Amino acid sequence: MKKLINTPEDVVDQALAGMIAAHPGYIRVEEPNIVVRMDAPRPGKVGVISGGGSGHEPMHGGFVGMGMLDAACPGAVFTSPVPDQMLAATKAVNGGAGVLHIVKNYTGDIMNFEIAAEMARDEGIEVTAVVIADDVAVKDSLYTAGRRGVGGTVLAEKIVGAAAEAGADIATVTALCQKVQDNVRSMGMALTSCTVPAAGKPTFELGDDEMEIGIGIHGEPGRTRMKLATADEITEMLAGPILDDLPFKAGDEVLAFVNGMGGTPLVELYIVFNKLAQICEARGVKITRSLVGNYITSLEMAGCSITLLKLDEELTKYWDAPVNTPALRWGV
Amino acid sequence: MKKLINTPEDVVDQALAGMIAAHPGYIRVEEPNIVVRMDAPRPGKVGVISGGGSGHEPMHGGFVGMGMLDAACPGAVFTSPVPDQMLAATKAVNGGAGVLHIVKNYTGDIMNFEIAAEMARDEGIEVTAVVIADDVAVKDSLYTAGRRGVGGTVLAEKIVGAAAEAGADIATVTALCQKVQDNVRSMGMALTSCTVPAAGKPTFELGDDEMEIGIGIHGEPGRTRMKLATADEITEMLAGPILDDLPFKAGDEVLAFVNGMGGTPLVELYIVFNKLAQICEARGVKITRSLVGNYITSLEMAGCSITLLKLDEELTKYWDAPVNTPALRWGV
């Protein structure tokens, strides 16, 4: 296992300490290991929180800040955070206008966020939740009843965070998050496995000439394992099922998000984007916004995922709105 | 070789096409393969260009845009661009106020930028050049007389681009670039090699329990090859020589830049930043600005580099100024 770490046990804590050191004006870390926007709670503002296992950085801690998340709950690597974290985050960002939980569809996350929501409600905080389940690769999965929550989560957090920043109420913010979920689809692939530090060996084995299409962000099995193909062929294999699923139709405007899994260089992601743009154009689907880079990763896994979000005026407006977080920053 | 590519020959062209597709409002690509800011040339503005081999993305093409570079010249992977590219870029961004060439210290880059500068001067364009040579690892190197140009280049391009945007003249912009060079130091390391697509095999061999301290961004040998150490130990091995070299002194304010080589996940870079912050604090060196992520990469190499820039009021002001490029964006 070749990693820039000290001990597997210290990975999450030391990375959080590094985040605070690098971005002191943005975020603070509170017990029990939650990342909180520096100026939270903001009276009258709907709080927006998310969380999940670590190892997907910058998601979610890197998205805490003005115009996006108010707090994030990082679990151990690839492990759900505990309800105490979600409860603490909910209380830390409660400005009296309610708190939305953005939950990726994994059994542990769902269960723990539900427990935390009940506890917060017992303390008089209005809590809503939206489950992101945008991965078209498989119907159920290793840690999932139903589709997995993947790249759409990043877009939901940006868009919903902007609406909350603009003063939308809890019902509006919650409905907007559901609207993102209803209009976003993703699929990913891996060229290599990743290694969870505490495990010390690759999560799965993949031959030197093999790839996994439809991979999950924890290395869960996808649709098919096959011989390595070209970037264009791989992009077809991901974009086709995404476009067919919603379905995206001629005339639709979309945000196209090509995400790196952590170990794939940017130059390759742009080659994928090039083919994706051609595929969309051939179907009459118009890419009006884009995001290219490592935003929801799987440690050092090599590979990529594609996410398409069908845009309308409201979603575009909130996507474009200012954001000021460690990982996404514009307009300020 | 596991990469998201089509053929080794198409990597640079298809990645550039993907960049244009993803960022249509920012940049255009012109013959012979140069990336140009959409609104160049801007009358009366000093043009700032850079360039070098591809494989270091987002550098340089991802830094073209408002407040940073006016154009970039990407060569083949790890290969200098040709003088025709540098001449075309110089002419494309010439607004009549002169053009600065920011040149990383590699023999091919130096030679070709000098040829292009002469050709541009023959056409009546005022051209200045500053050589970035910030890598303290080795005195000379495989492709270098003197120190290599590495992470400091990113900071120089940002700061100098802001000054040019603000209307500084060619002498001021050139002197500012030299000031960055005089105050910036870097050093990197690798956990793994990378594979140049056209070569099809790793640039160098590194054992499963080995790392290379002082690596170059093309995989050039560093100071020492040794057994894998902890992130804290590695950070000491990089930060010590950097801090000693300028030297950085108690009371200095610095921009601390922890850069990923391409295959190392963000979570590990923050662990390095955490230790770097402790080391700086122990020496009384105050980190007032930071940058953490993959900005000057070596394809899919795993590893990191550290860059420290001694700041003053002028450098800080231009670092903070608005920038709007595919890879760095704030304030707009």
pLDDT in tens, A30-86: 999 999 999 999 999 999 999 999 999 999 999 999 999 999 999 999 999 999 999
pLDDT in tens, B30-86: 999 999 999 999 999 999 999 999 999 999 999 999 999 999 999 999 999 999 999
Residues of A in contact with B303 (CB under 8 A): 4
Which residue does chain B place closest to A302, by CA atoms?
Answer: B263
Residues of A in contact with B16 (CB under 8 A): 270
Would you call B15 and A274 a contact, using CB atoms and an 8 Å cutoff?
yes
pLDDT in tens, B277-331: 999 999 999 999 999 999 999 999 999 999 999 999 999 999 999 999 999 999 9
* Complex-level ipTM: 0.98
Would you call A19 and B270 a contact, using CB atoms and an 8 Å cutoff?
yes
Confidence check: pLDDT of B143 > 90: no
- Please measure the distance between the N-terminal and C-terminal CA atoms of chain A and give it in whole angstroms: 40
Q: Is-contact B71 B86, C-beta < 8 A?
A: no
Distance CA A97, CA A89 (A): 15
Residue B42, helix vs strand vs coil: coil
Would you call A264 and B299 a contact, using CB atoms and an 8 Å cutoff?
no
Would you call B18 and A292 a contact, using CB atoms and an 8 Å cutoff?
yes
Active-site residue flag, B23: no
- Measure CB to CB from residue B330 to each of A6, A271, A330 and give the nearest one: A330
Domain spans in chain A, listed from the N-terminal domain onward:
8-183, 184-319
Q: A295 to chain B, minimum CA–CA distance in Å? A: 10
> What SS3 string covers chain A?
CCCCCCCHHHHHHHHHHHHHHHCCCCEEEECCCEEEECCCCCCCCCEEEEEEEECCCCCCHHHECECCECEEEEEEECCCCCHHHHHHHHHHCCCCCCEEEEEECCHHHHHHHHHHHHHHHHCCCCEEEEEECCECCCCCECCECCCCCCCHHHHHHHHHHHHHHCCCCHHHHHHHHHHHHHHEEEEEEECCCCECCCCCCECCCCCCCEEEECCCCCCCCCCEEEECCCHHHHHHHHHHHHHHHCCCCCCCEEEEEEEECCCCCHHHHHHHHHHHHHHHHHCCCEEEEEEEECCCCCCCCCEEEEEEEECCHHHHHHHHCCEECCCCEECC
With vertex at residue A182, the alpha carbon angle to CA A180 and CA A188, rounded to the nearest 5 degrees, is 85
- Measure CB to CB from residue B265 to each of A2, A270, A300 and give the nearest one: A300
Question: Per-residue pLDDT averaged across B248-274, rounded?
Answer: 98
Residues of A in contact with B270 (CB under 8 A): 14-19, 22, 57
Q: A21 to chain B, minimum CA–CA distance in Å? A: 6
Q: Please state the pTM of the whole predicted model.
A: 0.98
Q: A231 to chain B, minimum CA–CA distance in Å? A: 5
- Measure CB to CB from residue B4 to each of A17, A231, A299 and give the nearest one: A231
Q: B296 to chain A, minimum CA–CA distance in Å? A: 11
Residues of B in contact with A302 (CB under 8 A): 2, 263, 300
Confidence of residue B241 (pLDDT cuts 50, 70, 90): very high
Question: Per-residue pLDDT averaged across B261-282, rounded?
Answer: 98
Number of H helices, E strands in chain B: 8, 14
pLDDT averaged per 10 residues in sequence order, chain A, 332 residues: 97 97 94 96 98 98 98 98 98 98 97 98 98 95 90 98 98 98 98 97 96 96 96 98 98 98 98 98 98 98 98 98 97 93
- Please measure the distance between the N-terminal and C-terminal CA atoms of chain B and give it in whole angstroms: 40
Domains A8-183 and A184-319 fall in the same CATH topology: no
Residues of B in contact with A192 (CB under 8 A): 2
- Measure CB to CB from residue B300 to each of A208, A264, A331 and give the nearest one: A264
Which residue does chain B place closest to A277, by CA atoms?
Answer: B21
Which residue does chain B place closest to A332, by CA atoms?
Answer: B331
Q: What is the CATH number of domain A8-183?
A: 3.40.50.10440
Would you call B4 and A208 a contact, using CB atoms and an 8 Å cutoff?
no
Active-site residue flag, B101: no
Residues of A in contact with B332 (CB under 8 A): 330-331
Q: What architecture is domain A184-319?
A: 2-Layer Sandwich (3.30)
